[in-house]
Structure 1
Amino acid sequence: MRYVEVRREVCMTAREIYEARLVAGTWGNVSAWVDDVMVITPSGMDYGTLSPEDMVIVNGEGEVIEGFFAPSVETPLHLAIYKNRPDVKGIVHVHSPYATAFAVARRPIPVILEETAQAIGHEIPVAPYAHCGSEELAHHVVRTLGQDKKAVLLANHGLITVDVSPSAALRACYIAERTAMITLFAEQIGSINILADEDVKCLYEKFKNYGQKKDR
């Protein structure tokens, strides 16, 4: 079996979004890009019982080259992002409740927290509505992500995040969901205060060097 570690990361990320209640049932999907192929979750299977062997490998045209199951219905969306963003190696799509509330309202999630500025670095915009699994949806998301964004809301649908790995993209999901939740709570108390663009940029750049450095 090829790409054992990548399969394991995609599988474990999928199981985590289910256990963390970022999705319900079989909704949502996770993928990784490696050696010009994509490892993605299978369509319509219980995330709670997935194993690395269940992950599906497709080529750049979406054709299954390894795996026993059909790939996620959002395969065209994932492939479109990878083709447009060479920097992206992991994608996570969730239907978490607070972020999805913003998607239903078709309202961007603002940068109100330092952690949002540090880990995402921008307001999370809303891609126009299109049916799930459609080429039209893929087009809208790719255009809204552009060349530098890490997260986008899908109108009346959910949230998608991109990063250098599935686990890194998952972190952005958690932060986006927390930001959406706190925004809604803060608005019940009073008005929200959005961080200035220059502060967001500064925090994002500083966060790149956050944490312990590896031994040389």
Structure 2
Amino acid sequence: MLLEKERRDVVETCLFMQSNGLIVGTAGNVSIRVDDKIAISPSGVPYETMTAEDVVVFSMDGERVDGVLEPSSELPLHLSVYRETAAKAITHNHAPASTALGLVVDEIPPSHYYSAMLGGIIRVAPYAEFGTDELARNVTDALKGRSGALMKNHGAITIGPTVKKAAGLLPILEYVCEIHLRAMATGAPVALLSPEQMADAKAAIADYGRQPNKE
């Protein structure tokens, strides 16, 4: 089976999103790029019954390469992001906090240094109907220099060099959105980090977790 490992990884990532409460029903999608091909989750298939064979493979030109099911309706979005970024994997979800916050802001202010994990202040892509080229353009623009973004009246998206890293950013993005929503709900002014503080956080995060080599 073509891209068998990647297709299995797509299924496992969909189940990860489901088990972490990041999706509702079959909403959301996952893809992995290998050279000029992408493995992408199928449309409308329940995650708990999805198999690697259900995952479909398309070329970067949008032509079917392998698999018989219809791809996610967001195939144009995935292709656009891959063409314009260095991403090797994309995860898209409809989690509550990120979806809700995208209704009331055009970007997430720097209220938590975790935003630096996604590249800085998180943008909200303007609304466009799902599956359209307009949505693909809006989201691709919102991801410039970032590894995550919100989609107004829709959900959230993360990208990364591997599907594990892309998926790992989804709970972080949801956390940032959740705490900002809670802070806004108090009615009190929300403390924000300065550009300098955000830059320092971004630099610190780049080195976080590195351990000295053992002889």
Same fold (TM over 0.5): yes
For residues 212 and 53 of structure 2, the distance between their equivalents in structure 1, rounded to whole angstroms, comes to: 32
- The amino acid across from 2:39 in the alignment is V
- The amino acid across from 2:178 in the alignment is M
Corresponding residue of 2:138: 140
Corresponding residue of 2:161: 164
Contact 2:184 / 2:190 at 8 angstroms: preserved in 1?
yes
4+ runs deviating over 3 angstroms: 212-216
1:123 matched to 2:143? The reply is: no
What TM-score comes out, normalization by structure 2 length?
A: 0.92
Corresponding residue of 1:198: 196
Q: Deviation digits for residues 122-179 of structure 1, max 9, x if unmatched?
A: 1111111110000111111112222x11112111111111111222112221111111
For residues 196 and 42 of structure 1, the distance between their equivalents in structure 2, rounded to whole angstroms, comes to: 42
1:66 matched to 2:63? The reply is: no
Corresponding residue of 1:109: 108
1:185 matched to 2:182? The reply is: yes
For residues 106 and 64 of structure 1, the distance between their equivalents in structure 2, rounded to whole angstroms, comes to: 37
Count of paired positions: 213
- The amino acid across from 1:171 in the alignment is G
Alignment partner of 1:48: what SS?
coil
Alignment partner of 2:122: what SS?
coil
Output the aligned Cα RMSD. Answer: 1.8
Contact 1:19 / 1:48 at 8 angstroms: preserved in 2?
no
- Unmatched 5+ stretches in structure 1: none
Further displaced range: 183-192 or 90-99: 183-192
What TM-score comes out, normalization by structure 1 length?
A: 0.91
- The amino acid across from 2:191 in the alignment is N
Q: Deviation digits for residues 72-113 of structure 1, max 9, x if unmatched?
A: 00000000000011x211111111101101122243222222
For residues 10 and 215 of structure 1, the distance between their equivalents in structure 2, rounded to whole angstroms, comes to: 33
For residues 110 and 171 of structure 1, the distance between their equivalents in structure 2, rounded to whole angstroms, comes to: 21
CA shift at 1:212, angstroms? 4.3
- The amino acid across from 2:87 in the alignment is V
Q: Deviation digits for residues 172-203 of structure 1, max 9, x if unmatched?
A: 21111111111122233422111111221222
Which residues of 2 match residues 146-157 of structure 1 at below 5 A? 146=144, 148-157=145-154
For residues 4 and 209 of structure 1, the distance between their equivalents in structure 2, rounded to whole angstroms, comes to: 34
- The amino acid across from 1:172 in the alignment is L
For residues 193 and 17 of structure 1, the distance between their equivalents in structure 2, rounded to whole angstroms, comes to: 30
Contact 1:103 / 1:155 at 8 angstroms: preserved in 2?
yes
- Unmatched 5+ stretches in structure 2: none
